[in-house]
Each structure stands twice: as structure tokens, then as C-alpha cells.
Structure 1
Amino acid sequence: MTDRKITSEDLYKIKTPADPRISPDGSQIVYTVSSIIEKTHTYQSHLHVINRNTQAMEQWTFGENKNHSPRWSSGGNLAFISDRSGTPQAYVMKAGGGEGRQLTFSSHGVSNPLWIDEDRLLFLTYLPENDSYENPKKKPEYPVPLEVTQIRYKSDRDGFIRGRKSRLFQLDLSTGETRELVSCEGDAESPSVSAGQLAYVHTPPEIPGTGLVSDIHIKNLKTGADKNITGGRGIFSKPQFSPDGRCLAFFGHEKEYKSATLQKLWLYNTEHETLQCLTGEWDMYAGDAAVSDSLYGAVSPDVQWTADSQGFYLIVTDRGSTGVYYGSIEGLMYPVRVEEEHVSGLAMHPSEHWGVLSISTPISPSELFEADFRTGEIVKLTHLNQQWLEGTLISAPQAFEAEAEDGWSIHGWLMKPAVMEEGKKYPLILQIHGGPHMMYANTYFHEFQVLASQGYAILYVNPRGSHGYGQDFVNLNRGDYGGSDYKDLMTAVDAALEDFSFVDQGRLGVTGGSYGGFMTNWIVGHTNRFKAAVTQRSISNWLSFYGVSDIGTFFTEWEVGGTMPGDAMKLWDHSPLKYADEIDTPLLILHSEKDYRCPIEQAEQLYILLKRKGKNVKFIRFPEQNHELSRSGHPLLRVERLNAITAWFNEHV
């Protein structure tokens, strides 16, 4: 029996297998393993291969760098991306492994390799429109002003855009020649090829009043004819041609409920030029909407076609879990694996109906499994986290539901403290996810386990606005931020206090990030029942958020239901800053300095106002980090963040 508790620093022990790919002959499975190098506090990822005939497992790349995005050619060669030269470049190696040969030499780096055939490889690079791949302009040796002419001029992922965009190139391996395949204003991404056809996602510059748009285009590589098949009506992604090239499947929606619209599966017939939504009557989210803090290196999978071009497999989100479904081109959809787990990766053998899944549970980070969907048999392939887990106390959550005042069911989990004594009461921390249109799930969450090891019960639920519970439910909080969603959370707290007698109702804490940070700010401005709060990458003022966030204009309009300046009073009414006088709860504010999604001025305003009023508040700024600090930020700062959260609750709860 072990008594070792999980610590913040155990983040360094977690290994994440992801992005599995099956070789064309089905004999090998390549995947990435991502982890943290303890001595340098940096991330690394390497390619590993399983030989299905011998069950042998080999590591194919080495060194303190990142190797990822493996892609098999039809002849069995393996392309991948590596930053071993200093910037991410495409490499190729033989099917049996060996030294990789560098293929690209872009000063800006490349990504997303995709084979056209054995001699041609597609890749993306992020370049200004007037730069060439072969001879990009030299970076200036002195500071230059940033000229801004577009609404979207910065990105939480990429920083200041400076005229750059994702551009799609083709490399001829025999000659080394490259040429750009798409000429468009805006980004060209996510390519798929079949018999002289190129499908890709086109994201044009934001048009005032319309918000985000991303379309699926099909280009004839011989004639150059380019067709927009989705017509500028919505947000679409991940196109994949069927093996016979007659159909193109992709995800997306037409913004019927703006950012709260369920993602659906679409099918375009290239012969008849008809577009059909296959899951239009299906009240579930097509894809993975689960949130986790322990999936560094994970890749959201495309639709997986079968060899006969009559069906496909995909991941589906439903009621706190993600599972695998099979669908046909006629619109038949049925589950083939639905368990209380988080399937974050999927690769299918096209003709034999078996696949490789990345699966996480609340008590285990991701591992790879091979599943036969004809028999239901599943076999664990990797045991990367087994040794660490065997020596560690893990808390398993218990699912529960509470009924909201208007009858909706609020689904969630209560995680007990890792160590409990009979008859003793324990403090409880309410966790609130971001999005808001995401979902807590049956997945491993390191932050929850760290707090549980400190003696806290953890309550995490999916209030209205969360995915996984149907279109009506996910749309309920739009225009009502701080209304019934706040009541849902308080209802869940009340239900937990009633159902779990070991919870000390006088020792409650609350925390959350992004939308969860907004809601944390809102809660402490509307009730004093929590003894301490930690707000992370939060929103405090919708009036300024409108103009400073990289999604501010359309997100504020879609989610809160107001614009500037016409709806200024409505935006102010929904701003936690308005209620700062009512905040008496000790509040820790955590924010990243290069967060362009929820810019740090949101934290600065809240901190200065509370400090000026003599409130119990503390502000921690994380340098050089963006909105993704808790998931992919600098490892040392991720640990500092976790330690700051536990220290604040230990002091005040």
C-alpha cells in the first residue's frame, strides 16, 4: 500500500502518447510520446513505433527536441516534423527507421506534412503574403512600428500577426522544388488530397459584423479551378477525402447558435456537387469537446474513412465522455465504443475495422489501446505512466447530478480527498471550466489530483453552456452570463453539501480559468459563502474586452449579446468589475502577460480596483506565457501556478 501523494512537480512524470498512425500494410503503428525534460524544464516529443507482428516497441527519434506529426506515405516512408535544426522542418525516414533526412529549410519553420504521392509532399508554413518560401525577407535588426489594418491583427497562439498567414506549399522530393498551391487572402490550412483534387480550409480576414468564418474549398490541381463548397456561412474544419475521392467529410456548423452551435459532420459529393449535414438531427457534438490539463502533444483526429468509401469512424462527445462512433454515407450513425473515458486520439485501419485509441480516465493519463470494433476486444499497448501511478495515491471521482431550478439536470463529479479519516470533515473546491462551450470529462486532471492530495474535495460540473448535453443546453447561457449558469453552480454546491456528509460547508473555495475565471469573479461579487477564490486568465470587464481580445468583437456580441458603444450598459451589467465593492472573499489573481485571448489588462483592472478599496487580493503575473499556461506553458511556471493555487487555499480555506 502506497502513501505517496501527488504533487505539482509530478507534472514532470506524466508522459503523453498521441497522434497514432497505422502504416499502409497495417504492420506498424507510429505515435508520439511527449514529456518534460527535468534538467532543462523543456518539452520533448519523440516518435515511437510498435511492430504488430512481433509486438516489439522501438523509439525512432532521440535528443532533447520535438519530433511529431508522423505521416506514412503509400510506400511506407515516414515524414515528420522536427525542430532539431532550430526551427520546425519536415524530415523523411525509411519504414524501418534510421536517420531522418531534412526536406525543408524554411526560416519560419513548417508544419502539417501530407503526402500526395511518393515524390510529393505538402506542408504549411507561416509567412507574410509578400514573402517567398525560398527567399523570405530578412528580419529587421531594429524595432519597427506595427501597422494595423485588420480587425484580427493578433492571435493568442501566434502573437502579433504582422501580415503573416498559413500558406500551403508542395515539395517535389526528386528535385527539391517547392511551389505554393493556393493563393488567397487569409489562411489556407488543413489540406486533404485525392486524384488531382486538393481540399483545404480557408479562413479569410474577419469581416466587420460577421465574425469568424472558415470555409472548405476544393481546388483542381490540374486546371486551377477553386470552389468554395460551404459558401461563407459558418465555421468548418478537417476535410478528408474518401479513398475513392467521391466524397469529402468534414466538421463544422453554420453558426445557427453562434459560438454555442453543436459541431456536426458534413458530407460533400464531389461528383454531384451536393452538400449534406449527416448529423443535423443528431443532438450530440461531433468531435472532442473535453478539457484537460494533461494532454500536451495530443492531436484532434480527422474523420477515419473505411477502405470501401462507404463509412467512417469519428470521436463523439456525450455526457462527460468521448467515444467512437461509426457512420455511413447514407447517414446511419451508431456507437462502437462508449465508456466513461476520454478518447482523444483515433487511427483506424481502413479495411479491417480495428484502430488505435488514445484513452484517458480520471485516474490515469492517456495510454494507447488497440481496439477491434467487430468483436469489442481492446488491448492496452502502452504503459508509459504505469510505474508512476503504481507508487502514487490517486483519487477516483464519483459522478452525481443536481436539478436546476428550471428542471435542467446538472451533471458533474465529486473527487474525494486522496486520504480520508472516518468522521472528519474536509474543505471543498468548486472548479469551473472555460469555454464556456467545452466540457469537464472522465479524463485525468492533474490540478484536481494535486488539490485532492492536499486534503480537498473537488467539485467539478458542467453547468448550462457546456457541451455534451445537447444543443438547447449548450445555448442556454448565451446572453445570460452570470444568470442561470451562476445558479447552476450554486445548485451543484448545495447538492454536494447535501449528498457528501464529509464536506465541511463552512470551508469552501472556488477557482476557474477563462470563462471559469469570469464566473469566479462573478461569484465572489455575488456571494460571500466561499472562504477563498483563485481567478485565472479571467474576464472582468466586457467593455474593454470587446476591443483588446483577439476574439473580442464577435465573442462579446455572440456570447453576451452586446456591442460597443451601443450596448455599453448591458456589457457593464454583465461585468464582474461592476460588483467589485461587494467582493470580500480573499482573491488570488493569476494571469499570463502574453494572453491575447483574455488580455492581462482584465486582471490589472480587477486587482487595482480591489487593492485601492483595501480588499484582500494578490496578483501573480506569468511572463512570456499566453492563454494556454495551464496546458502547455513553461513547465516551471505551470508548477508555480499549481503551487500558488494550493498555497492560497491552504492559507484561507
Structure 2
Amino acid sequence: MKNIQIDDFAKFKLLSDVQFSPNGKYACFVVHQGNVEDNSYKSNLWVYKVEDNSCFQLTTFDKEGSFIWLDDSEHVLFAGLRDEKDKKKQKEGEELTVFYRIGIYGGEAQEAFRLPFSVTSIKEVNNNQFLFTANINSNFPVLGSLQGEEKEKELKRRKKERDYQVIDEIPYWFNGEGFTNGNRNRLFSYNIATGQWEPITKEKMQVEKVRFNNDKSKAIVIGSFFESKMEMTNTIYILNTQSLSLKRISPEKEFTYADAHFIQNNKLLCLGSDMKRYGINENSRFYLMEADSGKKQLLTPDFDCSTWNSVGSDCRRGGGEQVKLDGEHLYFITTEDDSSYINRIDVTGKIQKITREKGSVDSYDVKGGKIIFSGLRKLKLQELYLLQKDKEKQITSFNDWVQKERKISSLEPLTVKTPAGKAVDGWVMKPTNIEKDKKYPAILNIHGGPKTVYGEVFYHEMQYWAGQGYYVFFCNPRGSDGKGNSFADIRGKYGTIDFDDLMAFTDVVFKKYDGIDKERVGVTGGSYGGFMTNWIIGHTDRFKAAVSQRSISNWISMGYTTDIGYFFEEDQMAATPWDNIEKVWFHSPLKYANKVNTPTLFIHSDEDYRCWTPEALQMFTALKYHGVESRLCLFKGENHELSRGGRPQQRVKRLTEITQWFDKYLK
């Protein structure tokens, strides 16, 4: 058996967006796979047949990354550009989305209709009507409304203006999307019979969610209206799908709604927070809302779990809805300790945990109480599972070859009680070819977020390092998800209590694992983990090499150059440069760059607008200025998701650079 190889991630089959058909007889899902040679990912639709427990591939064009079931339960609808003429139009700046319809028994996909927009989501109201959202820039005329010479003139004008950018709002760009100034996700109605579309929401409204009631006569629309600064709050509206009239039912600018569904004809089950106790990362709670008046009642005053899957892994692509309605129950995901679970709640506020196995639930669906999901279990890659009488049954075997053909390092759990009395959960991985009485180098890996968690799931990069002869250890310090609001709340404390937890965990790892050579230990992490790496090297010399990925070094610059900075810094630092610049600077790793002695590699992407390039440039320059051995690898055309969703060749290069840096200083 071989150790995990550096390009194995591109051989894994990654599953997303599993959905039951309306009649519950089938489930469709997407299978993704990387291709290092042509530096891309291929995505196709697959179908699971409930009756005989079989799966078969539905599409083969390699570009079908999303879909919806049509109401007849016999066809799915997906977007794609298969005609070279359409591809050319899009390349020249024309907005176009072509939808294809394919029967579940195969055959050629047939064009269903096309829309002159960059469609972001679509839902079927009935045979003739669809609701769709599209990315529209309010600073330009809607291209789909123009014809002939008028359209050509507008396309030429846009082409001329590509060389400069006007900015008049924040955020003005977004990670993975580039400049978004003026962009809004607007809601439209489309009539197939007439071929006509009609806008529903106003130009400056950003639509986040659209949820039907049972007969699709109404829809919940969650969105926010802003002119020059996007706020963290949003509003619930009710849409009459026939008249297309939109009525606001919740007050504006007082609440953030994560989701909402009709639980009864005139009642909504809502998930949201006022953010008053723990800031923007506060866990949502459940409310019952009257559809007519917007009056809401708190159902779960003592509920204190995050309602999303925050278990990290670098072996995913795509996702799926986290909240689903089935009958009289609303199903949702929680992250608890180191795992994510499916739960459900009824109109009285009673919550029941549905899944029990540790690991990660990545996408799921429910139909008539039957549950299907894709997930990470133990150290297996993603597979589909069916939940039957509280027992999970694996129904696919896309990645079984990994267990048979690769040596995998097990995760040894280790819970450390810190001097502050907090229990910090973590794990240690031994080198896969470990020899008795031999000393090995080690790597401390720090997750991003900070409100995410490590769990007992497969991580390609860490398995690769174990195969290269490293101990790898990692934990969930304060600031992490899974243990409630209080544990996750490190506002105004970055680099203090979380640093203490990481060092306490490292101390115990060194004591328990005498195979680790304490003089040959490195540290790395990305995003928040990159911030902590920058912080650590300015506060201790115990690590002999560091790799800081997509990091933060200066909270002053991060706060006013990045897509989330203007609200994230004020919330997480509990200060701004105008009311307490000393505090903002205190929590900035750049302040301590003159104390760094650790050789450090910086990994960053030039289109990372979450933690923009200057964060790496400042810290790298400061270390060079002070004579510290350092290196910066800037990945062009990549963003904040490089380690998880970057192009395959760039992911190989990233992991090669990191491993070679550690090899140089630790081996």
C-alpha cells in the first residue's frame, strides 16, 4: 500500500447537493472530480433509485454542477453552455444562462429555455412559471431588456469600461467573485409560454433565500436593501406568486434571518439572531412568526448550537441547503463538539437529534421522513448514506479504494484541560510508517474561522504530511465552534486566550508523545489559522518553521480593504482605529514582527479578497526587514479557497511549497 499521494485529492469523488425527487422515488446528486492534467474539476449528475438501492450516472458533459427537480419527478433541470456560439457570446460579455431538461432514464438533454441573465438560482412554480434570481448590476441597464443596436451599443460601452472600476459602496468586492460594486441578486418571474420575464424585487435589494409554501401560492423571500453599505441585518417578505406582489412582514435593520419556512399555512418557522449578546457570530435560535403581522415568538430560548456544518475538511466541493422542511418538521444541521448532525424541530419548539454518528453531514434531504445524506464518516471520504431506523446505511462506494490502496494515519483523540479550566479537544496523527524509538518532526495545524472545528474526518493535507514522516496535531481552542456561544466568543481577545489554549495543548502533546522531536516542530494554518501563525511566531520561538496561509497581519488594513473587514474587525476586535487604535494594533501580529526569529513561508492568493494580499506582503516585508528567513508564494487567479477549491495544479504546488519548507527546517 502507498502513503497518501500529493495529487490524490484529484482522484477523490466529491458529492454534493443530494435532493429527493418530488415523489420520493429517486434522489439526484452531483459528483465532482479534479483533473490535474487539464487543471479543472469535472461535475456530473447521478441518480439514486430508492426502489432497488442502485445508482447510475445521468450526465456526462462534465459541467453539470447544480440542478433542480421538476414537479413531474421524471426530469431534472440544469444550467449549462453546450453551444460554442453561446460560449462566445458569454466571453464577449453577454449575460446568458441556458437551461437543459433531461429525463432520469437518460437520453440527450434537451434545451428547455434560455434567460438573458447570469442566473444564480431557479425554482419551478408550475409548468409555465419559474422564479429565478440573477446577478444584476444596478449601475447599468438590464442587458436582457435591450435588443438589437441598443444591446450592441451597451456591450461595447461595457467593454470599454473594463479598464477602470467605479466604487461607491461597501463591500465593493467579494472573495471568489471579484468587484461586486452595484451588484444585487434580484428576483424575477419567468413565463415559459410567453417567454417573458418580469422583475419582482427592486434594484438595490439583495435576495438571499426563496422558500415556497405547500401549494406554491406564496413564497418567503429573505433579503436586504442597501444603498451604500451592506448591513448584517435582513428582512422577511411574503410573495404572492401569481400577482407577484411583495409584502414586508418583519421590521428592517433589527435582525438577521438565516432561514425561514412555512410550517403551517399562516405560520413561519424562522431561524435567526439579533446579534446583541455575542455579535455577528452569535448562534441563531428558532422563532414562530405570523405570516400576516410578522409578530414572532421565541421557541428555543435555551438553544445554543450553531445551525450549520462547520466541520473542516479539504475534501469537499459544492454543498447543499442546510435547512429543509418535511411535513410538520423543519430539519437543520448542528455542529456539536467535533461533529455535525441532522436535527428537526416542530411548531412547539421541540428539537430531536436525528443522526448520532460522529463525523460530518455535508448535504442531505428529507422526504416523508426518509433521510439521505452525503457525509464524511470516520476516515472515509464522502459517500451517500441512507438513514433507516436510526441506523446509517452506506449506499455508494465511490471512494472505497482509498481505504484499500492507501495507508491512512488514525486520529488519536486528546482532550486537554487548560490552566483556565477549559476542555480543549484535539487529535494527534502519527507518521504512517512510524518506527519504534525513532524521533520525528511534527506540525501543529490551526483551523480557520475562528468559528469552525476540526473533527474526526479525512484531511488530505494532514494525511499527506503523516505519509511524509510527520506527527500532525491539531485542536479546537476557544473561539472554535461546537461548544456554544460563550466558548466561541473571543471578541477583543484574539491572540490571548486562544494562544494560551494552543500552547497548553502543544505542551500536553509533547509530554504524551515522546516520539516527537521537540526541536523539530513547525506551525501552520490558514485564514484565522494564518493570523494565529503570525501571532505565534511573534510570541514564542518554540516552533522552528512556520507557514502562514491567507493570513491577517494588521487589523487596521484588514478592516478597510477586505470584503468583510468593515464589519468583522469592529465586531471581533471590539474596537475600531478611531475609538481605540491601541487595542486594534495590540491584536495585530505585525506589531510583534521585530520579535520574530522563526523562518516563515507565506502562502497567499492575489484574488483573496477575504484576507487581501497586503496582509501577507506587510508581514513578509517586516520579517525581511528584520533579517528573518522568509519566502512569499503568491498564487495568481486564486482566492481564499485555494487549499480547498483551488485549481488542481495550484493545489499541488501549494502543498509542495509547504512540505518542502518544513522539510528544509525540520528534517
TM over 0.5: yes
Q: Distance in 2 between matches of 1:432 and 1:354?
A: 37
Q: Which one of the candidate residues 360, 381, 397 is aligned to 2:395?
A: 381
Structure 1 position 92 matched with structure 2 position 105: no
Contact 2:553–2:619 under 8 Å retained in 1 = yes
Aligned to 2:575: 562
Indicate the residue corresponding to 1:285 in structure 2. 306
- Whether the aligned pair in 1 keeps the contact of 2:221 and 2:237 (CA below 8 Å) is yes
Asked if the contact 1:201–1:216 (Cα under 8 Å) also holds between the matched residues in 2, the reply is yes
Cα deviation, residue 112, structure 1: 1.8
Aligned-partner residue type, residue 549 of structure 2: Q
Superposition pairs of residues 433-452 of structure 1, within 5 angstroms:
433-452=447-466
Deviation per CA, 1:436-484, whole angstroms, max 9, x where unpaired? 1111123221111111111111111111111100111011x11011111
| Alpha-carbon distance in structure 2 between the residues aligned to 1:510 and 1:569 | 28
Q: Tell me how far apart the structure 2 counterparts of residues 430 and 104 of structure 1 sit (CA, whole Å).
A: 52
Distance in 2, matches of 1:636 and 1:67, equals: 20
| Equivalent residue number for residue 467 of structure 2 | 453
1:471-482 to 2 correspondences below 5 Å:
471-475=485-489, 477-482=490-495
Listed as ranges, the matches of 1:603-642 within 5 Å are 603-642=616-655
Cα 1:276–1:629 shift into 2, 3 Å:
farther
What is the SS of the residue equivalent to 1:504? strand
CA distance in 2, matches of 1:7, 1:488: 32
1:314 to 321, 332, 351: 332
- Is 2:168–2:181's contact at 8 Å kept on the other side of the alignment? no
Unaligned runs of 5+ in 1: none
Letter in 1 for 2:178: G
User: Which letter maps to 1:263?
Assistant: S
Cα distance, 1:103–1:166 mapped onto 2, change above 3 Å: farther
Distance in 2, Cα, partners of 1:393 & 1:102? 46
Cα shift readout 1:163-198 (whole Å, capped 9, x = no counterpart): 221112222223322212222523113211234222
Runs of 5+ unmatched residues, structure 2: 91-96
Matched with 2:94 is none
Match of 2:159 in 1: 141
Structure 1 position 103, deviation (Å): 4.0
Matches within 5 A, 1:143-542: 143-194=162-213, 195-205=216-226, 211-221=231-241, 222=243, 224-229=245-250, 231-242=252-263, 244-256=264-276, 257-270=278-291, 273-299=294-320, 301-307=321-327, 310-349=328-367, 351=368, 353-372=369-388, 375-475=389-489, 477-542=490-555
Q: Deviations over 1:330-374 (max 9, x none)?
A: 01112121221111111011x2x21101110351121100112xx
Tell me: CA distance 1:245–1:454, structure 2 relative to 1, closer, same or farther (3 Å).
Answer: farther
Deviations 1:608-632 (A, max 9, x none): 1211222110100000111111111
Q: CA deviation at 1:277?
A: 3.7
Deviates most, 375-384 or 215-224: 215-224
Q: Distance in 1 between matches of 2:143 and 2:298?
A: 38
Which position in structure 2 is the counterpart of 1:43? 41
Tell me the residue number matched to 1:25.
23
Work out the CA distance in 2 between the residues paired with 1:611 and 1:295: 36
Against the structure 1 CA distance between its residues 277 and 643, is the aligned structure 2 distance closer, same or farther, given a 3 Å change threshold? Answer: farther
Inter-CA distance 281–184: structure 2 relative to 1 (3 Å threshold): farther
Aligned residues: 641
Partners of 1:146 and 1:331 in 2: how far apart? Answer: 49
Of residues 460-469 and 264-273 in structure 1, the stretch that sits farther from structure 2 once superposed is: 264-273
Secondary structure of the equivalent of 1:356? strand
Relative to 1, partners in 2 of residues 1:424 and 1:265: Cα closer, same or farther, differing over 3 Å?
farther
Cα shift at 1:153? 1.2
String of CA shifts for 1:86-108, please: whole Å, max 9, x gaps.
46543222343333333453455
RMSD of aligned Cα (Å)? 2.1
Match of 1:117 among 126, 148, 153: 126
Say which SS state the counterpart of residue 202 (structure 1) adopts.
strand
The letter for the 1-side match of 2:124 is: W
2:599 alignment counterpart? 586
Q: 1:46 Cα deviation (Å)?
A: 0.8
- 1:79 corresponding residue in structure 2: 77
Q: Once the two structures are superposed, what CA deviation does each residue of 1:201-233 show, in whole Å capped at 9, x if it has no partner? A: 21333776x942233322234371421425322
Using the TM superposition, name which of 583-592 and 393-402 deviates more. Answer: 393-402
Matched residue SS, 2:401:
helix
Moved more, 418-427 or 85-94: 85-94
Instruction: Note if contact 1:249-1:303 (Cα within 8 Å) is conserved in structure 2.
Output: no
Code of the aligned partner of 1:14: F
Q: Indicate how the Cα distance of structure 1 residues 75 and 376 shifts in structure 2: closer, same or farther if over 3 A, else same.
A: closer
Partner AA of 1:276 in structure 2? Q
Is the Cα–Cα contact under 8 Å of residues 287 and 316 in structure 1 kept in the other structure?
A: yes
Distance 2:342 2:244 in 1: 38
The answer on 1:596 being equivalent to 2:609 is yes
Letter in 2 for 1:220: N
Kindly indicate whether the alpha-carbon contact (under 8 Å) linking 2:332 and 2:342 is maintained by their aligned counterparts in 1: yes
Helix, strand or coil for the counterpart of 1:579? helix
| Distance across 2 between alignment mates of 1:320 and 1:411 | 8
Residues 223 and 597 (structure 1 numbering): CA distance in 2 closer, same or farther, change over 3 Å?
closer
2:577 aligned counterpart, secondary structure: coil
C-alpha distance in 1 between matches for 2:352 and 2:52: 33
1:66-113 deviation digits (Å, cap 9, x = unpaired): 332333425543222334454654322234333333345345532222
Describe the shift of the 1:73–1:250 C-alpha distance in structure 2 as closer, same or farther (beyond 3 A): farther
CA distance in 1, matches of 2:647, 2:13: 16
Deviation at 1:259, TM superposition (A): 2.3
In the alignment, the residues of structure 2 paired with residue 92 and residue 420 of structure 1 have an alpha-carbon distance, to the nearest angstrom, of 53
Q: Write out per-residue CA displacement over residues 290-322 of structure 1, whole angstroms, 9 at most, x where no aligned residue.
A: 2221111222x2422232xx2232211100001
The separation in 2 between residues aligned to 1:90 and 1:264, in whole angstroms, is: 37
Structure 1 position 635, deviation (Å): 1.3
Partner of 2:93: none
User: Any conservation in 1 of the 2:359–2:455 contact (CA below 8 Å)?
Assistant: yes
TM-score, structure 1 length as denominator?
0.94
- For 2:445 and 2:547, locate their aligned partners in 1 and report how far apart those are by CA, in whole Å: 10
Distance 1:84 1:394, change over 3 A: farther
Counterpart contact for 1:43–1:66, Cα < 8 Å = no
Q: CA deviation at 1:146?
A: 1.8
Q: Is the 8 A contact 1:152 1:206 kept in 2?
A: no
Q: Is the 8 Å Cα contact of residues 32 and 68 (structure 1) preserved in structure 2?
A: yes
Counterpart secondary structure, 1:565: helix
1:278 deviates by: 3.4
Change (3 A) 1:490 1:535: same
Conserved in 1, the CA contact under 8 Å of 2:385 and 2:392?
yes
Residue type at the aligned position of 1:470: G
Q: Distance in 1 between matches of 2:374 and 2:591?
A: 44
Q: TM-score, normalised by structure 2?
A: 0.92
Kept after mapping to 1: 8 A contact 2:441/2:470 = yes
Please tell me whether the aligned partners of residues 214 and 237 of structure 1 are also in contact (alpha carbons under 8 angstroms): no
Report sequence identity in percent.
30
Q: 1:75 & 1:270 partners in 2: Cα distance?
A: 30
Q: Please state whether the residue corresponding to 2:3 is helix, strand or coil.
A: coil
Q: AA paired with 1:295?
A: R
1:548 aligns with 2:567: no
The residue type equivalent to 1:138 in the other structure is L
Change in 2 beyond 3 A, CA 1:228/1:32: same
Amino acid at match of 2:362: S
Tell which deviates more after alignment, 152-161 or 107-116.
107-116
Aligned counterparts of 1:595 and 1:601: Cα–Cα separation in 2: 10
What CA deviation, in whole Å up to 9, does each residue of 1:378-435 have, x standing for no partner? 2211111112331001112111111122111111111222221122222221111111
